[in-house]
Amino acid sequence: MYGWYLGLVILVACERVAELVVSLRNAKWSFAQGGVESGRGHYPFMVVLHTGLLAACLVEAWYRPFIPWLGWTMLAVVLLAQGLRWWCISVLGHQWNTRVIVVPGLRLVAGGPYRWIRHPNYVAVVAEGIALPLVHTAWITALVFTLLNIPLLAVRIRTEETALNSALAK
C-alpha cells in the first residue's frame, strides 16, 4: 500500500507546484495593480512547514500500516480539502496568493465559500494537514504539523486581517 501513498503525496506535491505557478502569476498582476505585500517574515516558515509535511508523511508512513477504514476516510477528506482549496482559488481569481498581497480599492470577495466563512482556504489547510498523514496512519506527522500550524495560522490570519482592514480603510 505504500506505493500508492507515495503516488498520492507526489500528486499533492505537484498540486503545490501548480499553486505556486498560479500564485506567482497572481502576485505579478497584484503588484502591477499597486498591490502591497504584508507578512513576509512568516512566509519562509510556512514554506518549510508545508514542505516538511510532505516529507514527513513519506518517512513516517514507511513504518506505519495502512488501516483501511482510516485510510479511505482520510483520503476522502484530502480530496474534499483539495476541492475546497481550488474553489477558493477560482473564486478569488487574481486576488488569490500564497503570500499576503492586497490591491487597494478592490472589494472583499463574498462569493463561493467566502459567503459562509472568512478564511475557507485555511479550513482546507487544516483538514489536509491532519488527513494526508492519516491516510497511511502517520499520526505523529499529523499531530506535529497541526501543533506547528496553529501559531502560523494565527500569525497569517492576523496579518491578512490587518492588511485587508488597512486597504479597506483607504
CA atoms within 13 A of residue 163's CA, in its CB half-sphere: 19
> For residue 87, how far is the Cα from the chain centroid?
12
State mean pLDDT over 11-16.
98
Domain formed by 2-33+41-169, architecture: Up-down Bundle (1.20)
State mean pLDDT over 127-148.
98
In this prediction, residue 166 has a pLDDT band, given cuts at 50, 70 and 90, of confident
Name the residue with higher pLDDT: 166 or 68.
Answer: 68
The pLDDT value recorded for residue 1 is 79
In this prediction, residue 153 has a pLDDT band, given cuts at 50, 70 and 90, of very high
The pLDDT value recorded for residue 170 is 61
In this prediction, residue 167 has a pLDDT band, given cuts at 50, 70 and 90, of confident
Mean pLDDT of the chain: 96
What does the pLDDT look like over 93-136, one tens digit per residue? 999 999 999 999 898 899 999 999 999 999 999 999 999 999 99
The pLDDT value recorded for residue 15 is 97
In this prediction, residue 169 has a pLDDT band, given cuts at 50, 70 and 90, of low
* Percent residues over pLDDT 90 in the chain: 92
Model's pTM, two decimal places?
0.94
What does the pLDDT look like over 32-42, one tens digit per residue? 999 999 999 99
Rg (CA), the chain: 17
Among residues 74, 83, 76, the alpha carbon closest in space to that of 130 is found at: 74
